[in-house]
Amino acid sequence: MSLEFDSKIHKTLADARLQQAIYTATGRFKDARLKVVAQDVLPEYQELRAQANALKKHTIDHLDHYLEQFQSQVEAHGGKVVFCQDAAAVADFVLTLAKERGARLIVKSKSMTTEEIDLNERLEHHGLEAVETDFGEYILQLARERPYHIVAPALHKTRYDVAEIFEQRLHIANETVIEKQAAIARAALREKFLAADIGISGANFLVADSGAVVIVENEGNARLATSAPRTHIAIAGIEKLIPRAQDLATFLKLLARSATGQPLSVYTSFLSGPRREGEIDGPDEFYVVLLDNGRTRLLENPARRQSLYCIRCGACLNACPVYRKIGGHSFPWVYSGPIGAILTPQFMGAAHEPGLPFASSLCGACAEVCPVKIDIPKVLLELRADAPHNRWESLAFRVFAWLMRHPRAYELAGRVAASLVSSEGVRWIRSAPGLLNFGPIRAWLAERDLPPPPAHTFRELWRRR
């Protein structure tokens, strides 16, 4: 584990106010979800999960086919599909288009994919203004922070934190009422919507048989961002595809319920192509940027391919006892929580944060709530098997495996270890900091007590019966 990871965890654990904020907010989502997926409320819930999993599996297994179909459908409706290898390619595309159109101002609706490729920074670097229009994202843009949670980006901010940010960045003092804070943001954003040349959105689903981009949201800002400006660019990972419009019946029933505990989000937009003759709103130009950024590499491994089924509902974060303690910013990349723990090593390489796949008690709460049934603990175990092994640990496990195949040696070693961790032994270890680096036992004792070893092992007692 890197020092950075360790110190971020430590800092979050030590911050009582933050602990409370994370625990309360995730707890609210968690309880809300439980209510709407309960057996008596949604009896077909497990059936829906199985369907969603099968649909995602099928799509990911036949991605080439659906990408082609999607592209031809979008083009048939007058839109354009742009395939981008990586972050730089997306930025290039947007910058070139902005230049051609003489655009300066871009409004954005919430999109983890654009966070993944640091799009805002790249655009701002070239003199474009990109404004986040989702309330949470807007707050974070003011605070210059990364999203804390994939569904609720400003989950860690209380209204008092927001008041402080507004005071510093907007010079509006002492506004701690949430509704009024939202009104301030709305007023500031209205101007931006009207003046923007380009709207950039993400996508929750890309429907292959109809070429539609489906966006689910609660604030209506995505609807505005995708229809007010002349040009709309939807940016999405290639894994967002689903085969047919009718499959939305399955996914939409699961997404909002899993994310926020709503039966359905407030707004669900189906965008397919630019404004047609006779339509009153919609953009003149419609682009869908399909991002690879390492996704095709994930396809190569059949056991881990399921990582691409994710519909970014955030349920696994809310359920995760680790996320609920260490929060979103302890994670080394934009994707946090259980899904972040499996995506990060696969996208960024194991060396990005070697400790990440190990930062889990493998409790399985994530897999239990995942609407598309990604077996996250299984993928974590695979990533652990592939992780670079520390030399001392490797040696320890070789010794372990040898002992466990030699019962007599195991018994003897057990007695030796027991005398070491006997109460005198433990006192000695604890009183000799720095002298004796007896790693595991010391790490244990820093937080908890250890039971005194028994006078006799089970097998000794059994022999005496």
Using CB under 6 A, list all residues that contact ligand SF4. Answer: 258, 310-316, 339, 369-372, 374
Angle at which helix 407-420 crosses helix 423-431, to 10 degrees, equals 60
Does 384 interact with other proteins (rule: CB under 8 A)?
Answer: yes
Residues 417-436 that bind other proteins (CB under 8 A): 417-418
How many Å apart are CA 70 and CA 81, to the nearest integer?
A: 9
Residue 58 beta carbon to other proteins: minimum distance, rounded to whole angstroms: 23
Q: Which is nearer to ligand SF4, 321 or 439 (CB)?
A: 321
Q: Which stretch binds other proteins (CB under 8 A): 65-73, 98-106, 269-277, 409-417?
A: 409-417
Q: Which segments of 258-347 are extended strands (E)?
A: 267-271, 285-291
Q: What is the DSSP letter of 456?
A: S
Q: Which of 400, 412, 423, 432 binds other proteins (CB under 8 A)?
A: 400
Q: Are 309 and 53 in contact (CB under 8 A)?
A: yes
How many Å apart are CA 360 and CA 338, to the nearest integer?
A: 8
Q: Which residue has the tokens 């130009």?
A: 285
How many Å apart are CA 226 and CA 231, to the nearest integer?
A: 8
Q: Which of 386, 420, 428, 430 binds other proteins (CB under 8 A)?
A: 386
Does 387 interact with other proteins (rule: CB under 8 A)?
Answer: yes
Helix residue spans in 196-260 (DSSP H): 221-227, 248-260
Report angle CA 36, 26, 143 to the nearest 5 degrees.
130
Residue 285 beta carbon to ligand SF4: minimum distance, rounded to whole angstroms: 31
**What number of other Cβ atoms are within 10 A of residue 377's Cβ?**
18
Residue 73 beta carbon to ligand SF4: minimum distance, rounded to whole angstroms: 25
**What number of other Cβ atoms are within 10 A of residue 280's Cβ?**
6
Q: 389 in helix, strand or coil?
A: coil
Does 405 interact with other proteins (rule: CB under 8 A)?
Answer: yes
Spell out the residues 6+ positions from residue 4 whose beta carbon is closer than 8 angstroms to its own: 332
Closest CA to 164 of 183, 185, 143, 184: 143
Q: 444 touches which of ligand SF4, other proteins, none (CB within 5 to 8 A by kind)?
A: other proteins
Does 457 interact with other proteins (rule: CB under 8 A)?
Answer: yes
Q: Which is nearer to other proteins, 74 or 370 (CB)?
A: 370
Q: Which stretch binds other proteins (CB under 8 A): 92-100, 221-229, 335-343, 446-454?
A: 446-454
Residue 162 beta carbon to ligand SF4: minimum distance, rounded to whole angstroms: 25
Spell out the residues 6+ positions from residue 189 whose beta carbon is closer than 8 angstroms to its own: 107, 131, 133, 138, 221
How many Å apart are CA 128 and CA 106, to the nearest integer?
A: 7
Number of residues that bind other proteins (CB under 8 A): 59
Q: Which stretch binds other proteins (CB under 8 A): 98-106, 115-123, 203-211, 322-330?
A: 322-330
Q: 142 touches which of other proteins, ligand SF4, none (CB within 5 to 8 A by kind)?
A: none
Spell out the residues 6+ positions from residue 436 whose beta carbon is closer than 8 angstroms to its own: 428, 429
Q: 349 touches which of ligand SF4, other proteins, none (CB within 5 to 8 A by kind)?
A: none
Residues 2-31 that bind other proteins (CB under 8 A): 9-10, 13
**Could you give the C-alpha distances from 420 to 54, 369, 405, 436, in angstroms and in order?**
52, 42, 23, 12
**What number of other Cβ atoms are within 10 A of residue 7's Cβ?**
11
Token output for 274:
């630019």
Q: Which of 83, 267, 358, 428 binds other proteins (CB under 8 A)?
A: 358
Residue 144 beta carbon to ligand SF4: minimum distance, rounded to whole angstroms: 25
Written as one letter, the residue type at 394 is S
Q: 446 touches which of other proteins, ligand SF4, none (CB within 5 to 8 A by kind)?
A: other proteins
Q: Which of 189, 365, 370, 379 binds other proteins (CB under 8 A)?
A: 365
Q: Which of 389, 422, 424, 427 binds other proteins (CB under 8 A)?
A: 389
Spell out the residues 6+ positions from residue 53 whose beta carbon is closer than 8 angstroms to its own: 309, 372, 373
The strand order across the sheet containing 267-271 reads 241-242, 205-207, 212-217, 267-271
Q: 370 touches which of ligand SF4, other proteins, none (CB within 5 to 8 A by kind)?
A: ligand SF4
Q: Which of 170, 279, 321, 422 binds other proteins (CB under 8 A)?
A: 321
Q: Which stretch binds other proteins (CB under 8 A): 60-68, 115-123, 280-288, 379-387?
A: 379-387
Residue 353 beta carbon to ligand SF4: minimum distance, rounded to whole angstroms: 18
* Chain residues that interact with other proteins, rule: CB under 8 A: 1, 9-10, 13, 321-322, 325-326, 355, 357-365, 367-368, 381, 384-387, 389, 393-394, 397-398, 400-401, 403-405, 407, 410, 414, 417-418, 439-440, 443-444, 446-451, 453-454, 456-462
